[in-house]
Chains A and B, each alone.
Chain A
Amino acid sequence: MTPILELSGVGFDYPGVPVIDGLDLAVAAGELVVCVGPSGCGKSTLLALLGGHLAPTRGTIARRGQSRTIYQDGGLFPWLTVRENIARGLPRGTARAEADRKVADWLAITRLAEFAAAYPHQLSGGMRQRVELARALAAETDILLCDEPFSALDYQARARMRRELVATLADRPRTVVFVTHDIEEAVQLGDRVVVLGERPTRVQRILPLAMPRPRSPAAPGVPEAEQAILEEVGLP
């Protein structure tokens, strides 16, 4: 099957600073790929390349579908209410009645109906990320890119959001590329975990994970996978 995302020999330089070099990766439709790597290795740059926000300096990127990105924090428009933010994410030309229905659906799915008229600054960090998720998924694009979306949340909120993401995607499958520095998160979410090396980054190892989700920290295979990644990043 043709991959929905395909990177061949991709490199990207900021002036005088090579960030990514010779990166090859193929992502199949419906797959949830998690990229882990050390801070500053170029994970967010990789996501910006996948989203078409940056153009590669070298190599080619084939993206066979539309994408939406969820950011760590601050991706919502603070001057719009929750309802307006979700509506803003809908594709251009969506009819009013259709838009109202979709927004109502996503408010219900993300359990934000009560806060539809609230502004982002009036919500907790976890609720804001649920709005981001709703805005991105309501667009019904083929690809969802997640740039450390839960890293600003506390431990419990992060664990809850992972479960919610898995449950939401189970009902509405998308191709997801999820970037994180949290190895526990990577193992709990990914169909495959891509370990990225130091800058200029390239794929160091790809670890396929076949355990059923949701995965608890003690579920069979989870600690072993975490250990394998830790060894890969030099922290055995």
Chain B
Amino acid sequence: MAISRTPWVDNRRSGRASAPPRGASGVVFRQPSRAELCGSRATERRPWLRFALPLLIGLAVLAAWWSACAAGAFPAGTVPAPGEVAVAFVQELGSGRLVVHAVASLYRVAWGFVGAVLAAVPLGLVIGRSAMTRAALLPWINFFRSLSPIAWVPFAIVWFGLGDPPAIFIIFLATFFQIVLATAAAAAAVPRVYDRVALDLELTAREVLFQITFPAILPQLVTALRVAIGVAWMVVVAAEMIARESGLGYLILDARSGLRMDLVVVAMITIGAIGIGLDVLFARLARLDRVRWGFER
């Protein structure tokens, strides 16, 4: 079957004429642009806008912030001027302290998050595929999911003392139940026709789980992980404010104690920037061939 991979649009409707080929009937055709195929979105037509627009907003906020500080709009010591923040940022970066705090936070997030993924995905698969397990465990998963991870801080300190373990434990709890639920929902929605194909292929239960159910839920799982890493990053800052002596959360608490609001803003900017970086990283996972199909159908 000869399938044309090049869609054509009738040029008469758009009124443009860009060296078009002529069809047998004399109707003039031209190839639609990528932007037209994507619904004429402005950012598709001008990709540089995706960088320029946020930059413009940032510059506008910076200008407003700088003007307000210069005009003395804030009581002394409540809002640092952009210049003070820039100086503090350079000092913290130069001394290496900012990197040490950021690495400490990322370390805890990595352990807590990876631990949660390793425990939650298999459990979610089982819950999604077994109605009995779902009936038994889902109410409890929902019960614990609705508890704020910060509510566990007293137990985390009592059980694990100070140091990395309580923060890792809090991050684990913050993401574990979310990932279980997302995995279970995705696994329960895997089309039943795949089970029948699996029967024809004589796959074992283990093969069905790893060769059918897991790849079938991968797109939804990647989306769930993207949300969960954002939550983990939010929670580590809160956990470090309470239970740690390093990390970006601790830096905020320590700077506030020393009335260094410029340092508080430095920590906030760093947290936000790393948050964006983590999100971009997980968004890139959606471009992998084994994942992308779920977003292109």
Contact = CB atoms under 8 A, between A and B. Distances in A.
Contacts of B297: 78, 121
**Chain B interface secondary structure, helix, strand, loop or mixed?**
helix
Interface in B159-218: 191, 193-197, 199-202, 212, 215-216, 218
Interface residues of A, number: 26
Contacts of A75: 193, 197
Contacts of B296: 121-122
B295 to A, nearest CB: 10
A150 B174 CA distance: 48
A222 interface: no
Contacts of A51: 196, 199-200
Given A74-B193, A75-B193, A121-B297, A126 B200 contact: no
A92 B191 CA distance: 23
B216 A92 contact: no
Interface in A56-88: 67-69, 71, 74-75, 77-80, 88
Interface of B: 1, 3, 191, 193-197, 199-202, 212, 215-216, 218, 289-290, 293-294, 296-297
Contact of A111 (B1, B195, B289): B1
Nearest to B207: A92
A48 B212 CA distance: 20
A89 B200 CA distance: 9
B66 to A, nearest CB: 50
A69 B3 contact: no
30 contacts: A51-B196, A51-B199, A51-B200, A52-B199, A53-B195, A53-B196, A53-B199, A68-B200, A69-B196, A69-B200, A71-B196, A74-B191, A75-B193, A77-B194, A77-B197, A77-B216, A78-B293, A78-B294, A79-B293, A89-B201, A92-B202, A119-B289, A119-B293, A120-B293, A121-B297, A122-B296, A124-B1, A124-B3, A126-B1, A127-B1
Nearest to B296: A121
A213 interface: no
A79 B290 contact: yes
Contacts of A127: 1, 3
A101 interface: no
A205 interface: no
A148 B150 CA distance: 55
B216 to A, nearest CB: 7
A51 B3 CA distance: 33
A53 B293 CA distance: 27
Contacts of B202: 92
Contacts of A68: 200
Given A48-B196, A51-B196, A88-B201, A77 B212 contact: yes
Nearest to B219: A79
Contacts of A74: 191, 193
A79 B215 CA distance: 7
Contact of A77 (B3, B195, B200, B215): B215
Contacts of A89: 201
Interface in A86-120: 88-89, 92, 111, 119-120
Given A77-B212, A79-B218, A111-B1, A67 B200 contact: yes
Contacts of A48: 196
Contacts of A79: 215-216, 218, 290, 293
Contacts of B197: 69, 75, 77
Contacts of B201: 88-89, 92
Which 10 residue pairs of A and B lie closest in terms of their CB atoms, listed nearest first?
Answer: A79-B215, A121-B297, A53-B196, A78-B293, A68-B200, A119-B293, A75-B193, A79-B290, A53-B199, A71-B193
A71 B196 CA distance: 10
A195 B22 CA distance: 51
A79 B297 CA distance: 11
Contacts of A52: 199
Nearest to A88: B201
